[in-house]
Structure 1
Amino acid sequence: MMYTEIGKVLEVVGDDGDLIELKVQVGEQVEKAFHYQEWHQKKPAIGDFLLLNTTAVRLGLGTGGFHFVIHVLGPDRGGFHEVHTTAVSQQPGHMIKLRYTPLQRKMLAAEEEASPVHHLFHKHKQLQGLPVLIGELHSMLPVASSWFAHQSRMEKRPIPRLVYVMTDGGALPISFSSHVRQLKQSGWLHGTVTYGHAYGGDVEALNKYTALIAAKWVLEADAVIVCMGPGIAGTGTPYGHTGMEVGEIINAVRSLKGIPILMPRLSFADRRIRHQGLSHHTEGILQIAAMSPAVIPLSSIMNEEHKRTIQRQLEQWGIPEKHEIHWCEMSSEEIRSAIGLYPHSMKTMGRGLDDDPDFFSAVCAAAQYAWSLIHAPD
């Protein structure tokens, strides 16, 4: 998915301290390259050899259509004595992810004209009531999936065709997720879609709208889970965290005629006051980012004191006037049974089920609500 070649610096065309424009010789060609000083300790000099990302130029693309310096090898090629080219799949594809960086790579987007499923994006523009579970933490993915597997076993029904849509709010390569590997091996996860600058899913998409359409119409999902890859960035400020994307996804699902179901970030074990009860992240998502209504399932197993805290937060934030609150009946034994089906340790922020039962019950409640939609009478 990436071309890398050796080039030699012929001229330093411009240097603003952060970005250096170079004229380089690559093979028989004299071409333009860019060097980001923040990526390197050494500045390139005339006569230096460079390891270059030449992907976009070799593909003749406009987007990202320059060479970018991966590494300054120095005047002796740094041990590279032959032109070094990483093999690139000859399959079609002109979408560039990690654009304009030394690591940019080309992908075949499902929406592209060269894609065998391109026609589906003309034919289908709605989700037709598809249940879409939306959360801000990657740890919610195995919890919700385990609940689907549990319900399938208890009701003797097939496991729904569950599709995971990974955003670019956390890790970008989906291969970094051990949960995705395990869920696919278990047969609980039917397929994956990556969009934005996240990459490596079974299907690649440009944006959240086409990712959702791909989940429904390319992978034929019965239900979808959308959340970022491992790792969330936060600052302790009301809106300064990557979880704010959840509100945007709620809007997208609703506008495409799907059912947005929030997996709320809920905990009474987190030592940080701002994350106790419903997290302040959830407050910002529902108050500010989500302009469309979402369903917010909550579990009945919370003790009365915790329920009162949650209800007080919801009322203070004006959530019931904007979103639909749904209390799900379930037992602690059911949740423990569901989590127990997962073959590896399941934790969130370092806490397991015994440490933080309300987090797990809230995600299971959201999954149960989705399950009930899947199996609702026609």
Structure 2
Amino acid sequence: MIRWRKGTVETIRREWPGAVELAVSIDGDGAHRALAYPALVGRPEPGDTVLLNTTALAMGLGTGGYAMVIAIPDRLPPDPSGPGHLVKARYTPLQATVLGADEQDSPHHETLREADSLDGMPVIVADLHSALPPILAGLLAARPGTRVAYVMPDGGALPAWFSMSIAQLKDAGALAATVTVGQAFGGDLEAVTVHTGLLAARHVLDAEVVVLAQGPGNLGTGTRWGFSGVSAGEAINAAGVLGGRPIGSLRVSEGDKRERHLGVSHHSLTAYGRVALSPAEIVVPELGGEFGTRVAAQAATLGERHTLVPVGVEGLEDVLRRYEKDWGVRMSTMGRRLDGDLAYFLTAAAAGRHCAAAASSGV
């Protein structure tokens, strides 16, 4: 289950809030990329001996193909101090204690204790983490200054620190804060469930809009139900039952070589069509041509339960390219950039564009 290795830190390659990327010499296997989370294991320095989990590296995972630093055995970090009773990554060797916004010792406990409504706040739900930047681009281009929080459930990466995009979007002012829920951790706020995470975003962070999508590294098996994005349907239900305004962003691809993801992905059709029981606004991009006709026909199957909202994509490619440059955020999904799968990014940006109108309406 775990491939254990010992290595020596050669250099620090780069770092961003919560994470340090290293070049590590692994005994008998040469130099490789490694990733450490200083809050969990301390800060590695060149020359340190490190214990590594090389499972993802050996599997060649595109998103998470790092050797992960488990410990710096000769220089352990100090014991944690301060409040916090939520244990995340529970009963794993790296279980961590955090302060939950909803727990009794939190200064926000009284705010959340009886909180029960999102007051009509729009909640944009997407399957993949890579949808976050284009959704924000479409939203902020149409409604600059909108205060947006990102709620990250535990379907992909558990540490929010793994996402360089989160750090870059916050640094650029595009994202106000992150709430990590379930077993995920490392956000500006921690919460036990998606429900309290949404409520914390609204009532503690004063978010006007929430984007909810799993962290990097989603899991899929090619079966109808065996994919972590099923949680997108559950998120629609949570937003609906809390009196929010659920908005579904479709996962659309023209560049994926897998038939099940061409056009509207089966992930979206299952999550929104079978799992989401609460009505939502499903944004259907007006992509044009034969491919756009295919997307519209596939999305039409969701119309029995949800409201389908056609949204034009004119001008959005320029918006995406401008924000990619201005924010320093790489628009990429499954290794494909803007030119490799423009339809994916236009679809996510269209959800943001529609949400801008929804937020402006004050509903």
| Residues 334-353 of structure 1 aligned to structure 2 (within 5 Å) | 334-342=316-324, 343-353=328-338
How far did residue 325 of structure 1 move? 0.5
- The whole-number CA distance in structure 2 between the counterparts of 1:130 and 1:312 is 29
Give the paired residue count: 296
Letter paired with 1:297? V
Matches within 5 A, 1:1-378: 86-152=77-143, 158-300=144-286, 302-315=287-300, 318-331=301-314, 333-342=315-324, 343-376=328-361
Contact 2:181 / 2:191 at 8 angstroms: preserved in 1?
yes
Tell me how far 1:314 sits from its aligned partner: 3.2
SS at match of 1:228: coil
User: What's 1:14 paired with?
Assistant: none
Q: Secondary structure of 2:87's match?
A: strand
Structure 2 Cα separation of the partners of residues 312 and 177 of structure 1: 34
State whether residues 164 and 224 of structure 1, in contact with CA within 8 Å, keep that contact through their aligned partners in structure 2: yes
Contact 1:125 1:213 in 2 (8 A): yes
Contact 2:169 2:329 in 1 (8 A): no
Segments of structure 2 that go 5 or more residues without pairing to the other structure are: 5-50, 53-71
Does structure 1 conserve the Cα–Cα contact (< 8 Å) formed by 2:138 and 2:352?
Answer: yes
Deviation at 1:86, TM superposition (A): 3.9
SS at match of 2:237: helix
Distance in 1, matches of 2:188 and 2:329, equals 23
Q: Is the contact made by 2:139 and 2:355 (CA closer than 8 Å) also made in structure 1?
A: no
Name the SS of the counterpart of 1:119 in structure 2. helix
2:9 corresponds to which residue? none
Q: TM-score, normalised by structure 1?
A: 0.74
Cα distance, 1:287 vs structure 2: 2.3
Amino acid at match of 1:136: D
Question: How far does the alpha carbon of each residue in 1:267-301 deviate from its partner, in whole angstroms, 9 at most, with x for none?
Answer: 1221111111100111111222111111111222x
User: Structure 1 residue 159: deviation in Å?
Assistant: 1.3
**CA distance in structure 1 between the aligned counterparts of 2:174 and 2:274, rounded to whole angstroms:** 34
Shift of 1:353: 1.9
What SS does structure 2 have at the residue aligned with 1:139?
A: helix
CA distance in 2, matches of 1:345, 1:112: 36
Q: Which secondary structure does the structure 2 equivalent of 1:133 belong to?
A: strand
Change in CA separation of 1:365 and 1:39 when aligned onto 2, cut-off 3 Å: closer
TM-score, normalised to structure 2, is 0.77
Which whole-Å deviations, capped at 9, do the CAs of 1:60-104 have from their partners, x for residues lacking one?
A: xxxxxxxxxx99xxxxxxx979xx864233211111111112111
Q: Distance in 2 between matches of 1:274 and 1:101?
A: 34
- Identical pairs, percent: 37
Name stretches of at least 5 consecutive residues in structure 1 with no aligned partner. 1-37, 42-69, 72-78, 153-157
Please say which of residues 349-358 and 115-124 is displaced more in the overlay: 349-358
Structure 2 Cα separation of the partners of residues 147 and 314 of structure 1: 20
Greater RCO (Cα-Cα under 8 Å, separation 6 or more):
2
Give the drift of 1:40. Answer: 8.2
SS state of the match for residue 97, structure 2? strand
Structure 1 residue 215 displacement after superposition: 0.6
Change (3 A) 1:150 1:311: closer
Runs of 4 or more above 3 Å deviation: 38-41
